[in-house]
């Protein structure tokens, strides 16, 4: 059975989350543009689980996070326009398709915004660490990252499973 193709209209919450994601992308790109000239020649490029920098490289690596973040953001935004191709925790029917697609697109939009904001923070922390104004990502970065991503996934998947 072929899944229905339905265009999901954005509600106010979707538009706010999407706008926040776009601001995150602008910040992700704008931070290195603004600070690049002030960065020392060697900056952090990798962090341990504790959040402390444990790998260093030339300042050109500051562009890796914005590049990867932009590619991920764009890919997820494109994927979000085709909810019928996603995997779901229950069978898609004509009756539940719109509700499940709406939940799935909200989940992807929310995850996309979270990820771009996390990448923006990592870029900011790398710049601040390189400038001697901060010491790594912080002790709570990994736990917060895990709770955000898996909390979002858990919330939306649970709502999809409970959908009647």
Identify any residues that bridge with 27 across adjacent strands, giving them in sequence order.
none
- Give the pTM: 0.90
| C-alpha distances in Å from residue 110, one per residue of 18, 39, 132, 137 | 8, 32, 32, 22
Q: pLDDT tens-digit profile of 82-117?
A: 999 999 998 888 888 999 999 999 999 999 999 999
> From CA 47, how far away is CA 66, in angstroms rounded?
17
Q: pLDDT tens-digit profile of 39-72?
A: 999 999 999 888 888 999 999 999 999 999 999 9
Per-chain mean pLDDT for the chain: 93
User: What is the predicted pLDDT for the residue at 41?
Assistant: 96
| C-alpha distances in Å from residue 88, one per residue of 74, 82, 105 | 22, 13, 12
User: What is the predicted pLDDT for the residue at 35?
Assistant: 97
Q: 126: closest CA among 50, 81, 61, 49?
A: 61
Reduce the secondary structure of 57-83 to three states and give it as a string. Answer: EEHHHHHHHHHHHHHHHHHHHHHCCCH
């Amino acid at each position: 059975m072929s899944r229905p193709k339905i265009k999901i209209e954005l509600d106010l919450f979707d538009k706010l989350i999407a706008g926040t994601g776009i601001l995150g992308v602008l910040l992700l790109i704008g931070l290195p543009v603004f600070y690049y000239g002030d960065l020392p020649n060697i900056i952090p490029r990798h962090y341990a689980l504790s959040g402390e920098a444990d790998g260093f490289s030339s300042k050109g690596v500051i562009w890796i996070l914005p590049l990867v973040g932009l590619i991920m953001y764009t890919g997820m935004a494109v994927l979000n326009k085709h909810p019928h191709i996603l995997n779901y925790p229950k069978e898609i029917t004509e009756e539940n398709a719109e509700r499940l697609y709406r939940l799935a697109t909200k989940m992807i939009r929310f995850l996309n915004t979270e990820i771009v904001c996390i990448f923006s923070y990592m870029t900011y922390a790398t710049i601040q660490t390189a400038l001697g104004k901060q010491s790594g990502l912080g002790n709570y970065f990994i736990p917060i990252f895990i709770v955000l991503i898996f909390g979002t996934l858990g919330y939306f998947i649970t709502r999809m499973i409970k959908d009647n």
